[in-house]
Amino acid sequence: MRFGLTIGEYYPVDSPVHALDPRVKILLVLVFTIAAFTVVNFSGLAAAAALIVGVALVSRVPIRLAVKGVRPLLYLLVLTFIIHLFTGAKPWIELGPLHLSVPGARSGALVGIRLVILVVGAAFLTLTSTPIELTDAIESLLAPLKKVRVPAHEIAMMMTIALRFIPTLAAETDKIVKAQASRGARFESSNPVTRARSFIPVLVPLFLSVFRRADELAEAMEARAYRGGEGRTRMRRLEMKGRDVLALILVSVVFAVMAWVGRLPLV
C-alpha cells in the first residue's frame, strides 16, 4: 500500500513555469480554483484538463507526478459520486427506497472531476516552487495585513511547513504500514473492518514520528537563530518581471474563457 502524495514536493528542472514569480503562480492557482467552481458542464472541465496538460508540457514536470496525488482521494470520489447518484431529481431506476438519478450521476461526476482537476492543479504549484519561494511569496501577498499587526511571516512559515510535511508524513506512513504488514497486519483484506483495525497500530508510531520530526525542526531553527520575520534578510528578493505580468494576464484570460465555456448550455 502506497500513500503517494505530491502536494508539498518540489520537482527541480529548468522551465518557464519554474522561473515564474511564485506570487504569480499562487494567484493563478486561486483564479483557477474560482474558475473551476464556476464550471457546470463537462466541456469546461475538459478545457481545464487540457490547460493542466499544457502546464505539464511547459513545466516539463511528468503529469503522473501530479496525478499521483489523486490516489488517496479515490474513496472520497467514489463516496461523493454515490451520494449524488441517490440524491438527484427525476429517478431513473427505483430499487425499493433507493432512487438512481441520471442528473445525480451527472452532478456526482462533475464534482469528482472538479476535485481531481483542483488537486492536480494545486500539485503543480508545489512541484514548480521551492518551499522558500512559497514562504516568501505568501509573506509578500500577506504584507498589507502587517499594518493591522497580522504576523504575515509567521503565517507564511506555518503554511509552508505544513505543506512541506505532507509528503514527509505520507512517506513515514508508508514505511510504518510496510513494517506492520511484515508483522502480519492485513491492510489488503477485503473486509473493511479488518482493514480499519489494521491501521490502529499505525497511529501511535506515526504520531511519535510527527512529534520527533517537529522537535528536530524546532531545534534546527533554534540552532540557526531563527526569531521570526523581525530583522530577517533575504538572499533573493522577489521581483515582478515583464514575463510574470504577461503570464498573469494571458492565463487569466484563458481561465475566463474556460469559465465562460463552463457556463454555456453544453454537455
- In this predicted model, what pLDDT tens digit does every residue of 58-83 receive, in sequence order? 999 988 888 887 877 888 888 888 88
Left, alpha or beta for 233 (phi > 0: left; psi -120 to 50: alpha)? beta
What does residue 92 show for φ and ψ, rounded to 5 degrees? -95, -45
Q: Which of 52, 25, 69, 77 is nearest to 167 (CA)?
A: 69
CA separation for the pair 70, 6 (Å, rounded):
9
Predicted TM-score (pTM) of the model is: 0.78
CA separation for the pair 93, 99 (Å, rounded):
6
Query: Residue 205 has which C-alpha cell?
Result: 508510531
CA separation for the pair 93, 112 (Å, rounded):
22
Q: Quickly list DSSP for 152-198.
A: HHHHHHHHHHHHHHHHHHHHHHHHHHHHHHHTT--TT-S-HHHHHHH
Query: What's residue 23's pLDDT?
Result: 92
Query: What's residue 91's pLDDT?
Result: 61
- Asked whether the predicted pLDDT for residue 210 surpasses 90, the reply is no
- Report the number of secondary-structure helices (H) and strands (E) in the chain: 11, 2
Query: What's residue 255's pLDDT?
Result: 86
* Structure-model confidence comparison of residues 238 and 116, the more confident one: 116
pLDDT-derived band at 201 (thresholds 50, 70, 90) equals confident
Q: Which of 86-95, 176-185, 194-203 has the lowest mean pLDDT?
A: 86-95
Q: Which of 118-122, 141-145, 197-201, 222-226 has the lowest mean pLDDT?
A: 197-201
For 91, the enclosing helix (H) or strand (E) is strand 91-95
Give residue 79's identity as a one-letter amino acid code. Answer: L
Nearest-10 crossing angle of helices 42-59, 242-263: 160
